Homo-oligomer: A and B are copies of this chain.
Amino acid sequence: MSNSMLQIIPQSQETHKSQPKTPAILVIGGAEDKVHGKEILHTFWERSGGTEAIIGIIPSASREPTLIGERYHRIFEDMGAKELKVIDIRDRTQGEDPYYREFVERCTGIFMTGGDQLRLCGLLADTPLMNRILERVRLGEISIAGTSAGAAVMGYNMIAGGGSGESPNRSLVDMATGFGIIPEVIVDQHFHNRNRTARLLSAIAPYPDHLGIGIDEDTCAMFERDGWVEIIGKGTVIFINTKTMTYTNQAQVTSTDPLSLHNLQVSILCHGDRYHLPNHETIPVKCGTQ
């Protein structure tokens, strides 16, 4: 965990308490509820400061950034956020724009929408604006959330695309570089909804010290600063720990050969369940201290 941008403050299991106002990283599997209880979006708003929240919405993954930016703007406005801005980057030079850079110094939360993760990274990776956002996340000063494409960019190794309906094999997934907010995870979204098991297995096979995370729609893995990940929402989150992997053939086979992965530790978690990132422990909802 030494290279993690998510700097974990050690805390024992017993003393873990959910802190509604502390910054967190919310990784959302796409298609989150935007109409009824809006539980996940409400949690992000709360973790960004609630009525004190100053939220920046990054719609750059989408080909309809105006439309999607306005939609989230309205949602967080209705919740009572103090200030909102759509950081509508459509050109890499805008990543130096003083107007946006001033705003990210003041903001308390950043929300990245869905769309195409390659587009999002292409427009923002390594810009002064994004680098400052990532620094403030790393320092624990602000919350960040990403849904769908916005979730995919969380790891250093990013799933850019892929298929399903085949045995796991390297050609089933296209990899690229994400923002590295939680570097050791590889995130897939719309997970069971779009049958992405083989694609996530194919993605993690080359990384024996990583954690594959598959998040269902309307479901969120919320990473806390104390190393705990809490599940919120309607579906499940699967954690695939490759640290226990005793063997994979991935380095020896061609890109279309089937992949073997021996002895993975796998957990499927639901709403309220928690996963300890450094220790790979799980706590069911009923045993929680919250």
Using CB atoms and an 8 Å cutoff, list the residues of chain A in contact with chain B.
164-168, 192-195, 197-198, 201, 216, 219, 234-236, 240, 246-247, 249, 252, 257-271, 273, 282, 284-286
Contacts and interface: CB of A to CB of B under 8 A. Distances in A.
Contacts of A266: 240, 263-266
A134 to B, nearest CB: 31
Closest 10 CB pairs of A and B: A195-B195, A167-B235, A197-B197, A262-B282, A260-B270, A266-B266, A167-B236, A264-B266, A261-B268, A247-B284
A268 to B, nearest CB: 5
9 contacts: A167-B216, A167-B219, A192-B197, A259-B268, A259-B270, A260-B267, A260-B270, A264-B268, A265-B266
B167 A194 contact: no
Copies in the complex: 2
Looking at A193, A219, A260, A267, which has the most chain B CB atoms within 10 Å of its CB? Answer: A260
Contacts of A269: 260, 262
A248 B268 CA distance: 9
Contact of A282 (B193, B194, B219, B263): B263
A268 B260 contact: yes
Looking at A236, A246, A284, which has the most chain B CB atoms within 10 Å of its CB? Answer: A236
A247 B192 contact: no
Given A262-B269, A282-B246, A282-B262, A195 B236 contact: no
Contact of A270 (B234, B249, B263): B249
A258 B282 contact: no
Contacts of A193: 165-167
B165 A249 contact: no
Looking at A167, A195, A273, which has the most chain B CB atoms within 10 Å of its CB? Answer: A167
A192 B219 CA distance: 23
Given A167-B193, A247-B284, A260-B269, 20 more contacts: A164-B195, A165-B192, A165-B195, A167-B192, A168-B236, A168-B268, A192-B197, A195-B195, A236-B258, A240-B266, A247-B282, A249-B285, A252-B286, A260-B268, A260-B284, A261-B267, A262-B267, A263-B282, A264-B268, A266-B266
